Structure formats: C-alpha cells, structure tokens
Amino acid sequence: MKCEEVYAWIQAYLDTEVTPEEERMVERHIRSCIACRKRLVELAQIIRQLEKTGELTPRQDFTRRLLERIRQERKP
C-alpha cells in the first residue's frame, strides 16, 4: 500500500469504517512508514480536540447573512 492510498483511508480507519482486510493493510503500512504514522497520530489528536469542543452555536444572524451572501453570489 502506498502513502497516497493510506491518506485516503486514514479517516475511515479512525472511524472504524474499514473492512478487517483494509484495517490490516493500513496497520501494516503504518508500522513501516513514519510519515503516515505521524499523520495518523495528528489526525487522531485533531479529532479528539474537536470532540472536546462540543456543539457550536452560530451567531444569531448567521443564517440571514449566509442566505444574503448566496443571493449576492448568484447575481450575474
């Protein structure tokens, strides 16, 4: 398995959304590739931090401003 392939599988691997065979292939590569192992650890840390933040509440005018911006961008 090449690094590019592993990059495509890392998120699914962390979410346990891979088959047992895919999991073995990713783990085999991670054991032998420092760069991919580092990327896996970094992504896992980011996910943990995001989980700690909980649900975010947008400002009251977020929806209005978003819809306004969409309308402006659609104008020719």
Question: In angstroms, rounded to a whole number, what is the distance separating the alpha carbons of residues 36 and 47?
Answer: 16
* CATH number, domain 3-74: 1.10.10
Domain boundaries, the chain: 3-74
pLDDT of the chain, 76 residues: tens digit per residue: 789 888 888 989 999 999 999 999 999 999 999 999 999 999 999 988 988 887 878 888 999 999 999 999 988 7
Residue closest to 7 by CA, chosen among 47, 31, 50, 30 = 30
C-alpha 25, offset from chain centre:
20
CA atoms within 13 Å, Cβ hemisphere of 71: 6
DSSP 31-55: HH-HHHHHHHHHHHHHHHHHHHH--
